Each structure stands twice: as C-alpha cells, then as structure tokens.
C-alpha cells in the first residue's frame, strides 16, 4: 500500500470518526439519545487514543501516534479511577526506560541481521554517549548503518562516500542529544524519522526528489526523543 493511499485512508477514517462524534454530541444535547453510553467511551481522551492508533497503523512515522495514545490513556485512567495524573506519572514513569531499552535491543538485532553480509568499510556504527563524536566516512560501497546519540552528539560526514546498489538504511536513535548527517547533494534520500518532544530537520540546499525507482537510495529512519537532528549538504 502506498504512502498516499494510507494517508487518504487515515483521513477518511478520522473524518468519519469526527462526523459520528459530532452527530452523537448534537443529539445528546437535545436529549434525543434513547440509551446511555459511559462517559469515558465517548470522550476527548478516547478520541486521542483512537486517532493515535490510526496514525500508528497507517503512517510510517509512528511517534506522534504513540504520544497521542499515551496522553489519552493517561488522562482516561485518571478520569475512570479518579487518580491524580501526577500519581500515575510517578508510578509508571520507569516504563519509559523499559520501552526505550526494548526498542534499542530490537533495533540492534534488526540492524545486526541486515549488516551481517557487509564489511566494516561499508557500514557505520557510530555512538555518542555523554560526549561528542565527529567522523568523516569514506567508502566506495556505502551500505548504511546506525547512529546512536544518548546525552551526546554525532556529526557524520558522508560526502566522500559512494552508495552501493539498492536501498541502504541509516538507523538513527537520539535521546537527549543530537545527530547531524552530511550527505552529497546528488544522493536520493528519504527521511523517515519519528520525533517525540524533539525534531529532525532537512536542511539540504540541493537534493534530488526521492524516487523509489532509483537504483541507489538511502532511507534515514529512527526515533528522536527529547533531542534534535538534521541532514544537510556540505
């Protein structure tokens, strides 16, 4: 299914959802609903959760959907069980570390499988934890890799690299840090990064429009959590 089709489907579903809710609230204001629906079933919290699930199911960028589900669930639990929001946050905040740890382990295994057949000169595996890292990469058959920034910063210069044939993936993970990637202006690059309380900017002055039909492509994907990142030309 293409990105356009998924986007169109999600807008259709969200549009119908708002239509149904609007009709329900309108009829309810005139006491024309012959049955009672629990208040937490039709609420702004539930609406956030539903929209978040739709975004996760239909979009490549799932960070926004995860945030909506988390916020909606937090306020819904508080409303149903009459618990203070801050009490829920205090009790369950360690889950954020658990989820981050699981995400890192899963992504590490996925990248390890993908890169098993490549040589060290063809891939990158850059980490900056409580520090900074600047690296100029040189390769005639660049095949992607991973960049991790945790309370630190990475600046990776790929202008001296030539892409290998096919789709190459650079997996980015940033937690309270930053990542900067410098690429040649003629690279066919697609940015698919999900920011949560952060951002990832495309600052390239000159770049080709991403074309799935091209023989050489790069996809930059991953998560930015409370941090920042950018891609630019030299």
What is the average pLDDT score of the chain?
79
Neighbours of 168 (CB within 10 A): 24
Least confident of 10-14, 160-164, 175-179: 10-14
Tokens of 12: 């259709």
Helix (H, G, I), strand (E, B) or coil at 166: strand
**pLDDT surpasses 70 at 228:** yes
Distance (Å, rounded) from C-alpha 187 to C-alpha 217? 7
**How much of the chain, in percent, has pLDDT values that exceed 90?**
19
Strand 166-175 to 144-150 pairing: parallel
The stretches of 164-214 forming alpha helices (DSSP H) are none
| Cα separation values, 114 from 19, 123, 138, Å | 44, 11, 20
At 100-149, the pLDDT tens digits run: 777 667 666 665 555 554 445 588 888 888 888 899 999 888 999 989 88
At 16-59, the pLDDT tens digits run: 777 887 887 788 788 887 766 676 677 788 878 887 787 677 66
**How much of the chain, in percent, has pLDDT values that exceed 70?**
79
At 189-200, the pLDDT tens digits run: 999 888 887 889
| pLDDT given at position 59 | 61
Cα angle vertex 173, ends 133, 165, to 5°?
85
Distance (Å, rounded) from C-alpha 160 to C-alpha 138? 5
Helix (H, G, I), strand (E, B) or coil at 157: strand
């Amino acid at each position: 299914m293409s990105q356009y089709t998924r986007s169109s489907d999600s807008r259709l579903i969200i549009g119908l959802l708002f239509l149904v809710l609007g009709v329900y609230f309108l009829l309810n204001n005139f006491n024309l609903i012959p049955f009672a629906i629990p208040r937490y079933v039709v609420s702004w919290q539930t609406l956030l959760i539903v929209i978040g699930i739709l975004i996760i199911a239909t979009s490549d960028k799932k960070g926004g959907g995860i945030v909506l589900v988390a916020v909606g669930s937090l306020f819904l639990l508080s409303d149903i069980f009459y618990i203070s929001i801050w009490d829920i946050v205090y009790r369950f905040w360690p889950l954020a570390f658990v989820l981050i740890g699981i995400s890192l382990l899963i992504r590490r295994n996925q990248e390890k499988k993908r890169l098993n057949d490549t040589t060290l000169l063809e891939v990158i595996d850059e980490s900056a934890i409580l520090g900074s890292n600047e690296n100029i990469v040189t390769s005639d058959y660049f095949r992607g890799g991973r960049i991790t920034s945790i309370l630190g910063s990475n600046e990776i210069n790929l202008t001296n690299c030539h892409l290998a044939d096919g789709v190459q993936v650079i997996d980015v993970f940033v937690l309270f840090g930053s990542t900067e990637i410098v690429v040649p202006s003629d690279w066919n690059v697609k940015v698919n990064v999900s920011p949560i309380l952060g951002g990832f900017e495309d600052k390239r002055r000159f770049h080709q429009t991403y074309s799935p039909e091209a023989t050489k492509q790069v996809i930059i994907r991953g998560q930015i959590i409370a941090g920042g990142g950018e891609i630019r030309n030299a």
